[in-house]
Structure 1
């Protein structure tokens, strides 16, 4: 058992401390943080002493140039350290704490390494924002060596119990060993039992995929008669580098190319997610790394298509979080493959458990934040909750509430990053709306939303935004509606944008999200906002939720968003008379343009999403929806009876698909909805239509279309009698 003890004294004694503590850190496989707070000249002198003493290559991140040391990188270059392992890291936090970049670079420091944090005098930042005030309090209280111009502050010795249960190489931990075994079992065990692996950053999740793939190829080669095709996919080829690296190292006799590792008759091959989902590939086993960064519809396609598949995702870390992925994807897994398996990696690889640098970063950036317990949340009812609209200064005063809110956001949104914590605390134009449930003397957060204030520009700036000459940062709704939607008046309106919304997993689907949004809309209306809206990657689930919140689609992007993999949609609800008039005009324009977009830029949109987007939910919009005339209905009946071919009825079929299909799609099967959407609305070829609908061929597709038209005509007849 090794301990760290801090001697008192000045800089010379600090070097004595490092001489004693760094070997202890190496034995414990811990990273050693050292806090330095003082004036810039004093910090420069201490840094010179430390770098001379350690004699280690170092990385130094700072946006200041007066340090007098070489190899100083600006913070914007933080991603250079991804995938690297270093022994000495110096970080300049004297002016600001760049939260995202700090999360990135701190993960590159290896066990036994030294982390030097440069802080302002007395750990007090000049801007004194809520985020930095919280950081000041945390750093002053933390049990870490802290050198100031007055000397080195003492701390309580830290202890570590060594673990003598070592894994079998090439695995670095027992957790990783169990994960490798579980991955291989997906191939050798029963079909339709996918594995979901989740882990914090630095736990060897991607390495486990590579180790398992290499061991499977080795076993296949030894059997000689067997050939394996292991397919790897990830948001990008670079994201799969770790998997391929371990495969290459463990298969030295293999033939290696950029995207393929071959050994005998078997191979490991990278395929992009879209291609893997849309085209036919022979696969013995599919490994999906960083699954949380892929859109949910694509993951579902992969799950349905491949009977032996592993999904792996990071829970915490610089790249956002995947904890919400496991929660949300669980519903899909339960529905499609109820015998799915789960494996969580908890043991760190680059450093041992109890690492003081990891504990510091987790607390500072709330990487370990979690929502209220399921037991507490499950007891909440709509009647038992209270609504609060909070700003950052109030959140800073309530650490428990802050952690619960951020934990909810981490669960719900895989892209939630440390910078979001900064925004929550520091932005004056950002409100945090919460529903809390009281249990005894405590209040637990059940649902939360981040609401940004946008728009309200003068006429001159609004015109420049509409013309695309100005793009004010952080004003997504007015800027997109003006520059892309063409609505000149949008930037002048006072808008509230819901940036994030999260409901505790224990009560999802029970109305808490809608209730929260109604309370937010009421408060924003009282505050004089014209419109409340949001932007998100269009999926059927999200469109259904926002429709229940009485928000109308106002705009859809012409290309897929690189982060979500979906087309971005803006929905909104008018709060003032002016806002209501604008929403009515903009939604009408949107619905008028959608049929044209369907067979151009939205030609590959998922059929269920397109039908959701075309559904008119208000009587105001329905009266602008042209109904089928008698002669058009007669032609459609002739089509169903075989007297007219498809080409002779295309205008009528298109009108039927635009008007009746979206409103009555539930009377059709999924294949029947898809055949009309793909062939008629999106103008796809028969070959693409058959592929997207999953039917066996053109003949079956034609029969399915006839059946779907007959069902919709029956609905028209029912409506006409009322």
Structure 2
């Protein structure tokens, strides 16, 4: 049997079942690409309907690189050829799989399968971070990938060097019932044309659910696996709402994610003969005033222009804090992927659902199960889910119901162990997916193969209840440190890179540390100290290192968590993350004398520069984030004020002196008050003390106008805010001002 025979039969069966089939062409040199060309011809796939993903434009069809495979999201192709010989990128593999239409072929061109795991490619080079090189990268992910290819139905494997057909990929399926045809619901508010644009009964149900958004105070959640048409349903609904004159604000992690949404919205407008214009800012503006516009998540969370409807697509890929902001919209809808190719953290299900249920919104839920582009039970989808662990889940809740630190065992989950134990791998990776919105298929390969990564866990009765992913960083030679200092990017050394290139500390990359990349606790066992217990185990195991570190999107709760576990703030980023909208915090926990020296100098410098940064780049930083970041800094800054400056400060605290004549000493005093553990309380009442700390941040450190400060903090007037400002200064003067402040106090008494 030839490649042409295999491809022809695979395509015939795929068409007959409206499923996809996978054809693996393994071999040396370019024989696999030559065979792919023959396979497409034999399968009657026109080059105009095919895409080649790879580093060489070797076929007469559309061509994209593996890194740009995201361009295929939202598109459908009769065939996609992935030339994975130079770079097998898991994210790209997931994306190209999703782009193949029912009846189509996914063609995977590989080296000889028995040799593939021992080869190193461009993706491996990305994991070869200093001081490691490419030879230190393992091949466990590809070994696992080959095993799944050989084990799953619907996968044909041909050795193009020998012409051997290891598996023809045919499944010989039994006859199936015809797909249910969609029809409009008996009663509907959206036009009938909208329902005629639906392709499955599930999609009809979803569009019908979106009708609730015609009324203020409503929320809709549409949940589905990829390829079920949830974004298309949202686009149909958005067009109907805009046709009624409503302003619909759409957001997603990237605009490419909503291209299908806009395509379907335009299709419905055409069906309704609704006039519309497209623009870069509005995207879709109807003649009668309705519109469907797009904004990136951080900007959209502010609800610019007061939209009538906020529509959050791919909500599972956004942090919970950002999702909560959309609940202020008059009407809101969320579409969320159950098993995603681009990160599918279950923060939406586990944490946000409770917040949504507790809101004043009337919530309607709808789930789409029937695939749009291919039949239920498609073997290529089943294979992709297993190969990329798209359906990985933590242990079920009852298995960890009794977990606490005393009942758990600290376990080093070695990469070889995870590769050999599918159950353990699924639990550990599933917990990372559940807890973090950015976990993606690439992370699976890194977890198994990256030489700088370690996985540590707490296990309860053999089940993973908490997991930590660590990256070894630092320990770089003088030449590499100099290159980093002068602007070169050094892979896999995030914290040394920031401390060296941004903060100009060339020696920072010499000590060896371990950065905590991710840490996750099972949602059914939170608030029991498991995360802290896991960090204690990590600290004990890696005590020979110089430091532990972490970098993350800063929130008050997270800053407090890391501070409680011995980490100290040394840096706040000055730009927001495009997806989360958060500023990042970097914290260190020193483990050795070298680590102590590194942390001490950066803690001290952080307290010296933070006032200027808050007054400039971080003027929009949330005051509670600033308070928590300062409180988490393990430094003891001194006011260091001259007698003249103490008289100005004390005069403002006790009398009529004006802080505006010399704000700098007030700012230094505010930093001391917010950082030092021995700082006096700013007020007897705990709640008022918090407000006064916010006052110091907003007025002294971020230099906000008095009127804005008073309004934000709930003071009745600007005068009341000014008096509270003086009251907050008094205990600081009493504690640190000495005789100068005391004399000033007595003069004004």
TM over 0.5: yes
Name the CA distance, whole Å, in 1 between partners of 2:726 and 2:706. 17
Establish whether residue 553 from structure 1 lines up as the match of residue 569 from structure 2: yes
Name the CA distance, whole Å, in 1 between partners of 2:350 and 2:395. 14
1:22-79 CA-to-partner distances (Å, cap 9, x unmatched) read 3313xxx2112223334446535533432222332222223357x6766555434423
Secondary structure of residue in 2 paired with 1:578: helix
Establish whether residue 269 from structure 1 lines up as the match of residue 293 from structure 2: yes
The answer to whether the Cα contact below 8 Å between 1:180 and 1:208 also exists between their aligned partners in 2 is: yes
Match of 1:37 among 11, 21, 26: 26
The answer to whether the Cα contact below 8 Å between 1:37 and 1:123 also exists between their aligned partners in 2 is: no
Name the CA distance, whole Å, in 1 between partners of 2:699 and 2:27. 69
CA distance 1:188–1:124, shift in 2 (3 Å): same
Match of 2:275 among 245, 251, 254: 254
Give the corresponding residue for 1:406. Answer: 429
Establish whether residue 147 from structure 1 lines up as the match of residue 172 from structure 2: no
Name the CA distance, whole Å, in 2 between partners of 1:513 and 1:288. 31
Establish whether residue 170 from structure 1 lines up as the match of residue 188 from structure 2: no
Establish whether residue 212 from structure 1 lines up as the match of residue 204 from structure 2: no
1:276-296 CA-to-partner distances (Å, cap 9, x unmatched) read 444763332221223344454
Once the two structures are TM-superposed, the CA of residue 117 in structure 1 deviates from its matched residue by 1.9
Establish whether residue 285 from structure 1 lines up as the match of residue 301 from structure 2: no
Match of 1:581 among 597, 601, 610: 597
- Higher mean alpha-carbon deviation, 261-270 vs 530-539, is at 261-270
1:560-593 CA-to-partner distances (Å, cap 9, x unmatched) read 2334322222111111122122212221111221
The answer to whether the Cα contact below 8 Å between 1:123 and 1:139 also exists between their aligned partners in 2 is: no
Name the CA distance, whole Å, in 1 between partners of 2:212 and 2:369. 20
- Higher mean alpha-carbon deviation, 289-298 vs 410-419, is at 289-298
Give the corresponding residue for 1:224. Answer: none
CA distance 1:311–1:677, shift in 2 (3 Å): farther
Secondary structure of residue in 2 paired with 1:371: coil
- Higher mean alpha-carbon deviation, 266-275 vs 410-419, is at 266-275
1:303-357 CA-to-partner distances (Å, cap 9, x unmatched) read 2x32322233334333222433332333543565586554443332222221111
Secondary structure of residue in 2 paired with 1:433: strand
- Higher mean alpha-carbon deviation, 477-486 vs 166-175, is at 166-175
Question: Within 5 A, what are the aligned runs for 1:86-97?
Answer: 86-94=77-85, 96-97=87-88
Establish whether residue 81 from structure 1 lines up as the match of residue 72 from structure 2: yes
The answer to whether the Cα contact below 8 Å between 2:33 and 2:109 also exists between their aligned partners in 1 is: no
Question: Within 5 A, what are the aligned runs for 1:114-125?
Answer: 114-125=105-116
Give the corresponding residue for 1:223. Answer: none
Give the corresponding residue for 1:47. Answer: 36
Match of 1:415 among 429, 438, 441: 438
CA distance 1:165–1:537, shift in 2 (3 Å): same
Give the corresponding residue for 1:428. Answer: 451
What RMSD, in angstroms, separates the aligned Cα atoms of the two structures? 3.3
Secondary structure of residue in 2 paired with 1:535: strand
Once the two structures are TM-superposed, the CA of residue 511 in structure 1 deviates from its matched residue by 1.3
Give the corresponding residue for 1:59. Answer: 51
The answer to whether the Cα contact below 8 Å between 1:671 and 1:704 also exists between their aligned partners in 2 is: no
CA distance 1:585–1:403, shift in 2 (3 Å): same
How many residue pairs match? The answer is 684
Match of 2:534 among 513, 516, 526: 516
The answer to whether the Cα contact below 8 Å between 1:553 and 1:570 also exists between their aligned partners in 2 is: yes
The answer to whether the Cα contact below 8 Å between 1:675 and 1:701 also exists between their aligned partners in 2 is: no
Name the CA distance, whole Å, in 1 between partners of 2:76 and 2:626. 46
The answer to whether the Cα contact below 8 Å between 2:54 and 2:66 also exists between their aligned partners in 1 is: yes
Give the corresponding residue for 2:380. Answer: 357
CA distance 1:240–1:705, shift in 2 (3 Å): farther
The answer to whether the Cα contact below 8 Å between 1:274 and 1:298 also exists between their aligned partners in 2 is: yes
Secondary structure of residue in 2 paired with 1:136: helix
Establish whether residue 482 from structure 1 lines up as the match of residue 479 from structure 2: no
1:599-646 CA-to-partner distances (Å, cap 9, x unmatched) read 01111111111111111564xx2364669998567434446xxx4566
Give the corresponding residue for 1:5. Answer: none
Question: Within 5 A, what are the aligned runs for 1:653-692?
Answer: 654-655=667-668, 657-660=670-673, 667-668=687-688, 674-686=694-706, 689=709
1:476-519 CA-to-partner distances (Å, cap 9, x unmatched) read 11121111122222111111111111111111222111111111
Secondary structure of residue in 2 paired with 1:570: strand
Match of 2:625 among 609, 613, 620: 609
Once the two structures are TM-superposed, the CA of residue 523 in structure 1 deviates from its matched residue by 0.6
1:151-210 CA-to-partner distances (Å, cap 9, x unmatched) read 353665444743654333322333333332333314426x2x533434332222222222
The answer to whether the Cα contact below 8 Å between 2:319 and 2:437 also exists between their aligned partners in 1 is: no
Name the CA distance, whole Å, in 2 between partners of 1:278 and 1:18. 51
Name the CA distance, whole Å, in 2 between partners of 1:147 and 1:235. 39
The answer to whether the Cα contact below 8 Å between 1:325 and 1:411 also exists between their aligned partners in 2 is: no
1:239-291 CA-to-partner distances (Å, cap 9, x unmatched) read 44333322221122222232142242433333454444447633322212233
Match of 2:551 among 509, 514, 535: 535
CA distance 1:382–1:465, shift in 2 (3 Å): same
The answer to whether the Cα contact below 8 Å between 2:55 and 2:86 also exists between their aligned partners in 1 is: no
The answer to whether the Cα contact below 8 Å between 1:104 and 1:318 also exists between their aligned partners in 2 is: yes
Establish whether residue 300 from structure 1 lines up as the match of residue 357 from structure 2: no
Name the CA distance, whole Å, in 2 between partners of 1:703 and 1:236. 45
Secondary structure of residue in 1 paired with 2:506: coil
- Higher mean alpha-carbon deviation, 427-436 vs 654-663, is at 654-663
The answer to whether the Cα contact below 8 Å between 1:672 and 1:705 also exists between their aligned partners in 2 is: no
Name the CA distance, whole Å, in 1 between partners of 2:719 and 2:267. 53
The answer to whether the Cα contact below 8 Å between 2:182 and 2:199 also exists between their aligned partners in 1 is: yes
Name the CA distance, whole Å, in 1 between partners of 2:38 and 2:262. 41
